[in-house]
């Protein structure tokens, strides 16, 4: 440090304690206007399109360009659009079954990787990472071919079995995500808890249920929410595996988009946004509620 | 070579009163992890009612030995018998031993009472009986009334008691403790030390403890086994370990020691003489050593057994040794004041440094030893231990 | 301390079987079938003959398709760079904000990520089209500026020409940046948050300005985070389907659109399979590059 700077530094050190509205510190970027502006602009960039989309779902105009008045009629139209409702129900059903199976498979995969040493473990770990990494279009294409040529899903099955192909495809790409989340949670597990249970007389199965699963629980919940959202929102993979009688909500909205852009599409989109946001809020709330069990 | 010392501590009184009845037998137990040998051919018998300590530096195999007893590792060679029965086929949940883990391993999602009741639930004990036994166990560890708390509301020391209660409520034949005092702060450690001892006396079962802290082992245990690199080096009562170590490792590990390498010059039935390069005078002992004449031996002299005198005139003569033996000259090089005592480091002719200490008997420093002061160091003929390895 | 599977064979089998079998049957086999298809030929409307030909790959490397690959890489790269430029300051600001603000800001940035991709892309249409908000705003500014000019005695500006922001490559890039920005911010924030602040303070103390500090100290230290963010932005952008489909024009096709066409309209499955696999190989190359950068950064400590 320069000789002249020393007295300055000393003076700063000896300065009286700062008043309430003091100047921001050197690293408190958020309190200085350049970055405040940056963050603000970014947030505007991110939210403006969404907010206007939601606002215009109430627009009383077919062409949906200029605001012409407030109305709920497009919501009524959307909610009475039978094929839209059917698509929504389909999406929920698929997401529901996908979540259940993904959580089970994901939890088992996580335990397998966390607990055991076995030949070929790196290969299995790598393969489990593939569905996360490979571009969705490749997965979609693979599923399309699989269900068309290798394992044709029978036609004309009653609901909900006809959604099987889509559900299977969703599970395949969702459960590795669940496995990652659960495995992260497992890494903080104190193995002595398992040993303690066994020492006190518990069998393998009881140890799993009484000690391991409670620890995994936050991970399982987070994984379940993740699987549900991934399934509900998915477009590309579903686009390739669905047929004319097994439409899901995003696919239906897509075709509405391609044909006519009325505020009905806005209404349907807004409904989907609200559902997703509510689910995320619930998930976050549940996660924050869990008392920290990292000790002992 | 090990003399039988007079019994003078509480623990040893207890040890003497115990009827010989090996509840645990390790027969030639070896454990290998790949190429590493964690436990090397250990044979050991532990009697019923003992408070036994497995002592040694980290990595010596003591925890592995304990875990083999609990059933979490299987021996590569050898047998383990509990109550005379080979337990090789028994998984941990079927053995009559229970363990208190180093991290306590209290189930975080269960109440204290449920934690303690867990083992009884696994045994299929009736609900009413579980309630009474859990209450008893909590009283025993002085946690009575805290049954409804969650573990994250308890302190570390309280969680340890939950772990103790949880293990003891099952009335095992043996209780295993993995480094029970290492995670506690100094005051709590002292408290737990005496509590563990009284607990063991009250419950009356065999306790086996693993520790790297030799203070702990000496204070609590009735008998200790010292391990080094997988090998059992000495099994003895704490006093015997301290005063009659059988090797340099044990002498150095248990308590502090001044070690001198030397040559055994004379070895009779009632006396022996060792000449060490680092000591200007020969070491005279009042007992025989059982070694070959001319063999290399080591003299282990504990700091508290060295007397320090001001070097103003002739060397002091010790009554139990010929003149010119067991006395050396030195200069004080380092003084560390510890309140109740003062540690001194003295440099001998030839450069070797020796540790000793003096209790501060009065509030004024009576003899006023200071830096660079010339002194005589002297010791009794029965004080050094001569080690052959 | 892991257990060897041999120590609990029954438990291992019960735990490992379902996920592994599922992966095998419903993931590896479909991918393997696609791979086989890359060597096949169409011999009729629904039958495919596996002739072991490399013709599909050869066709994929023709100038036309190579050009599309190239364009996709450029678009994805541009998207990544823009996301980095916008995302880095934002991540920096959040990492150094007060704890309360931090949580809120993170939530606000990530919330759009939770909404449907389709909807987000669709929302941009209303913003970018000729009668969209950007043009409305610009037109308003233009007309006001024009009015102002007449006020001070200068000739007014001409008619407002709306910008064509939709149905072209610009729209695709804007759309991809819009969709992927949260992907970039999160790993950047993670890395910056974990960084040792005292190093920055030391640099400032030694006289370096903020920008120099950021360039010389922060960027190297946050390199693994940057590499992560770049990777999880680049790969999805490379394989994007919806955004170029909804926002792009006839010359804004990316690889995913071409692949879709082979399967849904052109009915040339082998060729589509070859294109898909080439996309996958590109993905793996990108991952390997990132792992390399990560290892170099870790070695530096």
Please indicate, yes or no, whether residues B244 and B375 belong to a single structural domain of this protein: no
User: Chain B residue with minimal CA distance to A295?
Assistant: B152
- CB contact under 8 Å between B92 and A197, yes or no, is no
Please indicate, yes or no, whether residues B76 and B225 belong to a single structural domain of this protein: yes
Residue B75's alpha-carbon distances to A289, C8, C138, in angstroms, are 45, 17, 80
Please indicate, yes or no, whether residues B234 and B333 belong to a single structural domain of this protein: no
User: Does residue B358 fall inside a structural domain?
Assistant: yes
- CB contact under 8 Å between B92 and A199, yes or no, is yes
User: Does residue A207 fall inside a structural domain?
Assistant: yes
Q: Give chain B's domain count.
A: 2
Q: Say how far apart CA A129 and CA A140 lie, in whole Å.
A: 17
Tell me which chain C residues have a C-beta less than 8 angstroms from the C-beta of A276.
Answer: 114-116
A230 close contact with B: CB closer than 8 A: no
- State in Å, rounded, how far the first CA of chain B is from the last one: 13
User: Does residue A191 fall inside a structural domain?
Assistant: yes
- CB contact under 8 Å between A138 and C96, yes or no, is no
The domain boundary, picked from B251, B279, B308, lies at: B251
User: Does residue A64 fall inside a structural domain?
Assistant: no
Task: Please check whether residue C39 is in contact with residue A184, taking contact to mean a CB–CB distance below 8 angstroms.
Answer: no
A193 close contact with C: CB closer than 8 A: no
User: Chain A residue with minimal CA distance to C23?
Assistant: A172
Q: Look-up: residue for tokens 């005092």?
A: B181
Instruction: Tell me which residue range forms the domain holding A251.
Output: 76-289
Q: What's C153's DSSP letter?
A: T
Omega before residue A160 within 30° of 0, cis? yes
User: Does residue B362 fall inside a structural domain?
Assistant: yes
A295 close contact with C: CB closer than 8 A: no
Instruction: List, for residues C16-38, the tens digit of each pLDDT value.
Output: 999 999 999 999 999 988 888 88
Task: Please check whether residue A261 is in contact with residue A64, taking contact to mean a CB–CB distance below 8 angstroms.
Answer: yes
Please indicate, yes or no, whether residues B281 and B372 belong to a single structural domain of this protein: yes
Instruction: List, for residues A171-212, the tens digit of each pLDDT value.
Output: 999 999 999 889 888 888 888 999 999 999 999 889 989 999
Q: How confident is the model at residue A33 (pLDDT cuts 50, 70, 90)?
A: confident
Q: Which of A197, A211, A291 sits opposite B152 (nearest CB)?
A: A291
Instruction: List, for residues B232-248, the tens digit of each pLDDT value.
Output: 999 999 999 999 999 99
A210 close contact with B: CB closer than 8 A: yes
Supply the pLDDT for residue B320: 84
Tokens matching residue C6: 């041999």
Q: Which of A178, A183, A173 is nearest to A139 (CA)?
A: A173
User: Does residue A221 fall inside a structural domain?
Assistant: yes
Mind telling me how many Å the CA of B99 is from chain A's nearest CA? 7
- What length does chain B have? 389
The domain boundary, picked from B189, B223, B251, lies at: B251
What CATH architecture does domain C66-129+165-300 belong to? Orthogonal Bundle (1.10)
Please indicate, yes or no, whether residues B186 and B276 belong to a single structural domain of this protein: no
Provide the phi-psi class of C156: left if phi over 0, else alpha when psi is between -120 and 50, else beta: beta
Tokens matching residue C29: 């086999």
User: Chain C residue with minimal CA distance to A149?
Assistant: C33
A276 close contact with C: CB closer than 8 A: yes
Instruction: List, for residues A231-268, the tens digit of each pLDDT value.
Output: 888 888 998 888 777 888 888 888 887 776 677 778 88
According to the 3-state scheme, what is the secondary structure of chain B? CCCCCCCCCHHHHHHHHCCCCEEEEEEEEEEEECCEEEEEEEEEEEECCCEEEEECCCCCCHHHHHHHHHCCCCCCEEEEEECCEECCCCCHHHCCEEEECCCCCCCCCCCHHHHHHHHHHHCCCCHHHHHHHHHHHHHHCCCCCCCCCCHHHCCHHHHHHHHHHHHHCCCCCEEEEECCCCCCCHHHHHHHHHHHHHHHHHHCCEEEEEECCHHHHHHHCCEEEEEECCEEEEEECHHHHHHCCCCHHHHHHCCCCEEEEEEEEEECCCCEEEEECCCCCCEEECCCCCCCCCCEEEEEECHHHCEEEECCCCCCCCCCCCCCCCEEEEEEEEEEECCCEEEEEEEECCCCEEEEEEECCCCCCCCCCCCCCEEEEECCCCCCEEECC
Q: Give chain A's domain count.
A: 1
Q: Say how far apart CA B213 and CA B53 lie, in whole Å.
A: 10
Tell me which chain C residues have a C-beta less than 8 angstroms from the C-beta of A269.
Answer: 116, 118-119, 122-123
Q: Which residues of chain C have pLDDT under 70?
A: 1, 43-48, 130-131, 156-163, 298, 300-301
Please indicate, yes or no, whether residues B238 and B314 belong to a single structural domain of this protein: no
B358 close contact with A: CB closer than 8 A: no
Supply the pLDDT for residue A23: 59
B172 close contact with A: CB closer than 8 A: no
Contact residues, A window 145-174, toward B, CB-based 8 Å cutoff: none
A6 close contact with C: CB closer than 8 A: no
Supply the pLDDT for residue A295: 37
Q: How confident is the model at residue A29 (pLDDT cuts 50, 70, 90)?
A: low
Supply the pLDDT for residue B96: 92
User: Does residue B104 fall inside a structural domain?
Assistant: no
- CB contact under 8 Å between A142 and C280, yes or no, is no
Tokens matching residue A57: 């779902």
Q: Which of A36, A137, A171 sits opposite C239 (nearest CB)?
A: A137
pLDDT by position in tens, chain B (length 389)? 344 444 455 566 666 555 667 899 999 999 999 899 999 999 999 998 899 999 999 889 999 999 999 999 999 999 999 998 999 888 898 999 999 999 999 999 999 999 999 999 999 989 999 999 999 999 999 998 898 999 999 998 899 999 999 999 999 999 999 999 888 888 888 888 989 999 999 988 999 999 999 888 998 999 999 999 999 999 999 999 999 999 999 999 998 899 999 999 888 888 888 999 888 889 998 888 887 888 899 999 999 999 988 888 888 888 888 888 899 999 999 999 888 888 999 999 888 999 998 888 777 765 678 889 999 999 998 899 999 88
Q: Which of B342, B52, B85, B301 is nearest to B197 (CA)?
A: B52
In the three-class reduction of DSSP (H, G, I as helix; E, B as strand; rest coil), residue C48 is classed as strand
Residue A120's alpha-carbon distances to A129, A173, C5, C7, C52, in angstroms, are 15, 21, 12, 17, 30
- CB contact under 8 Å between A201 and B159, yes or no, is no
Q: Say how far apart CA C116 and CA A275 lie, in whole Å.
A: 11
Q: Which long-range contacts (CB under 8 A, 24 or more apart) does A273-280 make?
A: A273/A50, A273/A54, A273/C115, A273/C116, A273/C119, A275/A232, A276/A229, A276/A232, A276/A233, A276/C114, A276/C115, A276/C116, A277/C111, A277/C114, A277/C115, A279/A225, A279/A228, A279/A229, A280/A225, A280/A229, A280/C111, A280/C114
Please indicate, yes or no, whether residues B229 and B293 belong to a single structural domain of this protein: no
Q: How confident is the model at residue A84 (pLDDT cuts 50, 70, 90)?
A: confident
Neighbours of chain B (3+ CB pairs under 8 A): A
Q: Say how far apart CA B251 and CA B269 lie, in whole Å.
A: 24
Tell me which chain A residues have a C-beta less than 8 angstroms from the C-beta of C124.
Answer: 49
According to the 3-state scheme, what is the secondary structure of C92-121? HHHHCCCHHHHHHHHHHHHHHHHCCHHHHH
Pairing of strands B51-55, B206-211: parallel
Read off the CATH number of the domain in which B77 is found. Answer: 3.40.50.300
- CB contact under 8 Å between A108 and C246, yes or no, is no
Supply the pLDDT for residue B25: 93
Q: Which residues of A221-238 are buried (b: 16+ CB within 10 A; e: fewer)?
A: bbbbbbbbbbbbbbbbbb
Tell me which chain C residues have a C-beta less than 8 angstroms from the C-beta of A122.
Answer: none
Q: Which residue has the higher pLDDT, A96 or A249?
A: A96
Instruction: Tell me which residue range forms the domain holding B311.
Output: 256-387
Neighbours of chain A (3+ CB pairs under 8 A): B, C
Supply the pLDDT for residue C248: 82
Supply the pLDDT for residue A9: 46
Q: Which of A48, A52, A135 sits opposite C238 (nearest CB)?
A: A135
Q: Say how far apart CA C117 and CA A250 lie, in whole Å.
A: 9
- CB contact under 8 Å between B99 and A196, yes or no, is yes
Q: Indicate the domain borders of chain C.
A: 66-129+165-300
The domain boundary, picked from B221, B251, B281, lies at: B251
User: Does residue A280 fall inside a structural domain?
Assistant: yes
Mind telling me how many Å the CA of B375 is from chain A's nearest CA? 51
Read off the CATH number of the domain in which A270 is found. Answer: 1.10.3720.10
Q: How confident is the model at residue A63 (pLDDT cuts 50, 70, 90)?
A: low
Tell me which chain C residues have a C-beta less than 8 angstroms from the C-beta of A111.
Answer: 15
Q: Say how far apart CA B129 and CA B127 lie, in whole Å.
A: 5
Q: Say how far apart CA C256 and CA B191 lie, in whole Å.
A: 71
Measured in whole angstroms, the distance separating CA C34 from the mean position of its chain's CA atoms is 24
Which residues, at least 6 apart from B278, have a Cβ–Cβ distance to it below 8 Å? B260, B261, B348, B350, B352
Supply the pLDDT for residue A287: 65
Supply the pLDDT for residue A80: 80
- CB contact under 8 Å between B152 and A192, yes or no, is no
């Amino acid at each position: 440090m320069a000789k002249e700077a020393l007295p300055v530094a000393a003076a700063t050190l000896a300065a009286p304690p700062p008043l309430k509205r003091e100047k921001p510190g050197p690293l408190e970027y958020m309190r200085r206007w350049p970055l405040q502006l940056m963050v603000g602009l970014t947030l505007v960039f991110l939210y403006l399109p969404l907010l206007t989309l939601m606002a215009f779902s109430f627009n009383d105009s077919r062409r949906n360009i200029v605001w012409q008045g407030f109305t709920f009629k497009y919501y009524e139209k959307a909610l009475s659009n039978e094929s839209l409702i059917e698509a929504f129900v389909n999406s929920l059903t698929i997401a529901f079954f996908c979540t259940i199976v993904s959580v089970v498979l994901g939890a088992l995969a996580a335990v397998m990787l966390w607990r055991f040493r076995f030949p070929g473990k790196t290969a299995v770990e790598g393969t489990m990472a593939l569905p996360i990494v490979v571009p969705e279009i490749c997965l979609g294409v693979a599923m399309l071919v699989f269900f068309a040529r290798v394992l044709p899903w029978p036609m004309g099955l009653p609901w909900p079995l006809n959604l099987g192909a889509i559900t299977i495809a969703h599970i395949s790409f969702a459960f590795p995500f669940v496995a990652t989340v659960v495995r992260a949670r497992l890494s903080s597990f104190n193995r002595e808890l398992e040993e303690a249970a066994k020492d006190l007389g518990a069998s393998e199965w009881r140890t799993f249920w009484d000690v391991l699963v409670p620890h995994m629980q936050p991970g399982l919940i987070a994984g379940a929410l993740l699987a549900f959202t991934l399934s509900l929102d998915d477009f590309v993979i579903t686009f390739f595996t669905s047929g004319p009688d097994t439409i899901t909500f995003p696919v239906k909205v897509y075709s509405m988009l391609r044909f006519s852009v009325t505020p009905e599409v806005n209404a349907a989109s807004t409904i989907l946004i609200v559902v997703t946001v509510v689910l995320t809020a619930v998930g976050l709330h549940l996660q924050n509620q869990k008392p920290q069990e990292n000790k002992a | 070579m090990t003399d039988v010392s007079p019994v003078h501590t509480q623990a040893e009184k207890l040890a003497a009163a115990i009827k010989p009845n090996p509840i645990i037998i390790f027969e030639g137990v070896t454990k290998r992890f790949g190429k590493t040998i964690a436990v090397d051919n250990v044979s050991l018998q532990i009697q019923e009612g003992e408070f036994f300590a497995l002592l040694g530096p980290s990595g010596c195999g003591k925890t592995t030995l304990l875990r083999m007893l609990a059933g979490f590792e299987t021996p590569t060679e050898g047998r383990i018998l509990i109550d005379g029965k080979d337990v090789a086929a028994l998984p941990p949940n079927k053995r009559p031993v229970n363990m208190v883990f180093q991290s306590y391993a209290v189930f975080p999602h269960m109440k204290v009472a449920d934690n303690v009741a867990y083992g009884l639930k696994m045994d299929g004990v009736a609900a009413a009986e579980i309630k009474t036994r859990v209450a008893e166990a909590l009283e025993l560890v002085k946690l009575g009334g805290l049954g409804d708390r969650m573990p994250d509301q308890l302190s570390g020391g309280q969680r340890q008691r939950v772990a103790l209660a949880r293990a003891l409520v099952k009335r095992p034949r043996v209780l295993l403790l993995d480094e029970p005092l290492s995670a506690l702060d100094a005051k709590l450690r002292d408290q737990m030390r005496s509590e563990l001892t009284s607990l063991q006396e009250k419950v009356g079962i065999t306790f086996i403890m693993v520790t790297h802290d030799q203070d702990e082992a000496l204070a609590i245990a009735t008998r200790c086994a010292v391990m080094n690199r997988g090998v059992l080096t000495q099994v003895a009562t704490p006093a015997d370990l301290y005063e009659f170590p059988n090797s340099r490792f044990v002498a150095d590990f248990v308590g502090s020691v001044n070690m001198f390498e030397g040559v055994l010059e004379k070895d009779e039935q009632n006396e022996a003489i060792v000449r060490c390069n680092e000591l200007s005078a020969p070491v005279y002992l009042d007992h025989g050593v059982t070694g070959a004449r001319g063999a290399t031996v080591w003299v282990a002299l504990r700091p508290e057994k060295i007397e320090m005198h001001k070097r103003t005139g002739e060397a002091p003569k010790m009554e139990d040794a010929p003149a010119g033996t067991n006395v050396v000259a030195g200069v004080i090089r380092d003084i560390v004041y510890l309140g109740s005592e003062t540690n001194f480091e003295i440099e001998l002719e030839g450069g070797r440094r020796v540790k000793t200490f003096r209790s501060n008997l009065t509030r004024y420093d009576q003899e006023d030893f200071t830096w660079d002061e010339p002194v005589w160091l002297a010791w009794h003929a029965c004080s050094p231990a001569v080690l052959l390895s | 301390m892991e257990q060897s599977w041999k120590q609990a064979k029954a438990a291992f089998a019960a735990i490992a079987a379902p996920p592994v079998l599922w992966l095998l049957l419903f993931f590896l086999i479909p991918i393997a079938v696609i791979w086989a298809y890359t060597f096949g030929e169409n011999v009729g409307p629904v039958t495919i003959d596996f002739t072991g030909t490399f013709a599909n790959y050869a066709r994929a490397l023709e100038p036309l398709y190579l050009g599309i690959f190239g364009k996709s890489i450029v678009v994805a790269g541009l998207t990544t760079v823009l996301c980095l430029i916008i995302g880095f300051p934002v991540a920096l600001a959040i990492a150094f904000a007060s704890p309360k603000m931090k949580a809120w800001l993170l939530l606000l940035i990530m919330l759009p990520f939770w909404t449907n991709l389709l909807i987000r892309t669709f929302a941009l249409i209303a913003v970018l089209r000729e009668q969209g908000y950007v043009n409305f705003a610009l037109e308003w500014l233009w007309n006001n500026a024009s009015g102002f000019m007449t006020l001070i005695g200068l000739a007014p500006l001409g008619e407002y020409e709306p910008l064509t922001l939709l149905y072209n490559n610009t729209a695709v890039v804007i759309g991809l940046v819009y969709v992927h920005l949260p992907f970039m911010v999160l790993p950047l924030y993670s890395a910056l948050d974990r960084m040792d602040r005292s190093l920055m303070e030391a640099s400032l103390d030694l006289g370096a300005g903020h920008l120099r500090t950021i360039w010389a100290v922060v960027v190297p230290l946050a390199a693994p985070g940057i590499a992560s963010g770049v990777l999880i932005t680049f790969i999805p952008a490379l394989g994007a389907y919806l955004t170029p489909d909804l926002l792009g024009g006839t010359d804004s096709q990316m690889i995913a659109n071409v692949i879709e066409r082979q399967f849904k309209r052109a009915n040339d499955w082998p060729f589509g399979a070859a294109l898909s696999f080439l996309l996958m190989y590109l993905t793996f190359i990108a991952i390997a590059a990132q792992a390399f950068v990560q290892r170099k950064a870790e070695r530096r400590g």
